[in-house]
Amino acid sequence: MGAAWDGRGFVGLIQALNEAMQAAKAELNGLDSALGDGDHGESLAAAFADAAEKAASLSEPSPAAVLQATSQSLLNRMGGASGALYGTLFLRMSLAVKDRPDVALEDWQAALSAGLAGVQARGKASPGDKTMVDALAPAVVAFASATDLGGAFAAAAGAAQDGAAATAAMVAKFGRAKFAGDRAIGHVDAGARSVAILFVTLHEFWEGQYGEG
């Protein structure tokens, strides 16, 4: 199982992401309250709670089925621009691994690249715009530079965290935050931070379930 994740592994992953988002709810709400509606953590936690329930109810889960169920929860329970972008991320990932019984390094690379492309196509944001893309794009690049899953998830987690932290120095170009102008400087983007939490959880889950030693 160390080389690839099957559907049951993805069910466990969504459960781990749910736990992580519940724990980060207050932090993400706080970041969002500075520049947005203040509910990013609340809506993300609700969406992943729904996703974890849906994933656990699948009788014969495949990686694509779990990712697709998660995308629907994110689209339906988050709402707004963030829900559309997060939902697109997981939907594009599900399409990239369609019909795959398990997902290895190259499949993960394809899925994450497809997810990033979908997010950028839908949201029109680029790195430097103070959005979730500032964490997602460097994470995908870092993931692709590794030669094994352990190294890939570790590199992606580090790059996502660095990317999220870097948004504090940026002026926002999208959403409510764009109206803040220079007042946005000094505040980490909530969407970028939640993406960093996602990749940290991916790495921790891999280490706990599939890592050697």
Give me the CATH number covering residue 144.
1.25.40.340
For 180-200, write each residue's pLDDT tens digit: 555 668 889 999 999 999 999
Domain count, the chain: 1
Percent of the chain with pLDDT over 70: 92
Global pTM value: 0.94
Domain range for 67: 5-209
- The residue type found at 23 is A
176 vs 205 pLDDT, higher one: 205
58 neighbors 66 (Cβ within 8 angstroms): yes
What is the pLDDT at residue 186?
A: 80
Residue 145 has pLDDT above 50, yes or no: yes
What is the pLDDT at residue 213?
A: 41
Work out the burial of residue 81: count CB atoms within 10 Å of its CB; fewer than 13 is exposed, 13-18 middle, 19 or more buried: middle
Task: Phi first, then psi: give them for residue 24, nearest 5 degrees.
Answer: -95, 5
